[in-house]
Structure 1
Amino acid sequence: MRKDEKNVVVTELQQKLGDASAFYLTDFTGLSVKQITEFRSRLRKQGVDYVVVKNTLAIRALDGLELPDIAGFFTGPTGVVIGREDAVAPAKVLADFAREFGDRPTVKVGVVDRKPFDPAQVRQLADMPPREVLLAQIAGGLQAPMARLAGGMSQLIAGFARAVDQLRQQKEEAGA
């Protein structure tokens, strides 16, 4: 690879890592080309990139980015799973694929919101419900007190209406 080609690779990777909400370094040893192609396909469906780049170029791409020191994890075959919008989706694809294919690829380290995540934390992240489910749970949690308040208010208004009706009946009976 010529120097200008290396600079292009470093710049592109630096841009992707800088824009990422999360990325995970993986060791893909033991996976066949067919399996890696399947892995890339699953990631692409979730809007996630998978980049295999020379370790020295990846370390150069980390320079200038406000990231934890993870350069020591760029040893051996390393693939980078890059999620732009969601940290959970790439972790889920990684975990699901690894379950199917003998714990391959293995996670070396993750970086979520500029903080390092060890492989156990990445597994915990993968076990979280999808973003839409979490948002629905939050909305349901916020809706429940409002529904109780609305129910209480309607009972209060109904009670007030009954009291006014009873008062009207008493006045009619007293006037008759």
Structure 2
Amino acid sequence: MRREEKAEAIAELTERMRSADTVFATDFRGLTVKQLSELRGRLRAVDTEYTVVKNTLARRAASDTGREALLPYLDGPTGLVWVGGDAAVAAKALDGFATEFPSTLTIKGGLLEGADLPQADVTRLAKLPSREVLLGQLAGTIAAPLTGLAGGLGNLIGGLARTLAAVQAQRETEDAPAA
């Protein structure tokens, strides 16, 4: 690779690292071209891109952007996963593929909003429920006390109405002329 090509590649990696909130590093040793193409397709479906990088150029870009936490993962054959959307969805897709092809694709680790994310944390992130499920759980958690409060107030008002009806009935019987 000529010096100009290297500088161009470093500039491109630097720009991608600056713009990506989440980056995962993988070891793709043993993946066939067909499997790599399938992986890229699955990741593309979740607004994520997979590129194979030269470690020396990626290390330089990581250092230039202050993303030094990525440096330990830039060893051996490395593919970087550039997450454009939801990091948990991308981690699910990557982890699912790594589970299908355990001897060929290994998740090394990555960065989540600039913070180091070891391999175990990427796997943990992949196990999280989807954003929609989490929002539904949050809504249910918020609504449960309100539902209980509404039921309690309904019972209180109903009890008050029954008590007032009983008092009114008692007064009517007291006011009624004796026969």
User: TM-score w.r.t. structure 1 length?
Assistant: 0.89
Q: CA deviation at 1:27?
A: 0.6
Structure 2 Cα separation of the partners of residues 142 and 128 of structure 1 = 20
Query: Residue by residue, what CA displacement relative to the aligned partner does 1:124-163 show, whole Å, maximum 9, x if unpaired?
Result: 1111111211121121111111111111111111111112
Q: Structure 1's 70 and 64: CA in aligned 2 closer, same or farther, altered over 3 A?
A: same
Deviation, 1:110, is 1.7
The 3-state SS of whatever aligns with 2:65 is coil
Q: Which residue of 2 aligns with 1:73?
A: 73
Whole-angstrom distance in 1 between the partners of 2:13 and 2:166: 77
User: Bigger CA drift: 9-18 or 107-116?
Assistant: 9-18
Query: In 2, Cα distance between the equivalents of 1:24 and 1:10?
Result: 18
Change (3 A) 1:34 1:155: same
Deviation at 1:28, TM superposition (A): 0.4
Separation in 2, partners of 1:54, 1:89? 26
Counterpart residue type for residue 169 of structure 1: A
> Shift of the alpha carbon at 1:103?
4.0
* Alignment root-mean-square deviation, CA: 1.9
Task: Report the equivalent of 1:97.
Answer: 97
One-letter amino acid of the counterpart of residue 106, structure 2: T
Deviates more, 1:25-34 or 1:49-58: 49-58
User: Which stretch shifts more, 51-60 or 28-37?
Assistant: 51-60
Distance of 1:12 and 1:174 partners within structure 2: 93
Structure 1 segments unaligned to the other structure (5+ residues) = none
Deviates more, 1:56-65 or 1:31-40: 56-65
How many Å separate the matches in 1 of 2:61 and 2:68? 13
Q: TM-score, normalised by structure 2?
A: 0.88
Structure 2 contact 73–110 (Cα < 8 Å) conserved: no
CA distance in 2, matches of 1:170, 1:12: 87
2:23 counterpart residue number: 23
Distance 2:108 2:43 in 1: 18
CA contact (8 A) 2:69 2:111 kept: no
The structure having more radius of gyration, on CA atoms, is: 2
8 Å CA contact 1:83, 1:89 repeated in 2: no
Corresponding letter in the other structure for 1:13: L
1:3 CA displacement: 4.1
**More displaced 10-residue stretch of structure 1: 25-34 or 97-106:** 97-106
What letter corresponds to residue 23 of structure 2 in structure 1?
F
Contact preservation (8 Å) 2:30, 2:103: no
Amino acid at match of 1:160: L
Cα distance, 1:68 vs structure 2: 4.0
For 1:103 and 1:132, locate their aligned partners in 2 and report how far apart those are by CA, in whole Å: 32
The answer for unaligned runs of 5 or more in structure 2 is none
Q: Percent identity?
A: 42
In the alignment, residue 111 of structure 2 is paired with which amino acid? V
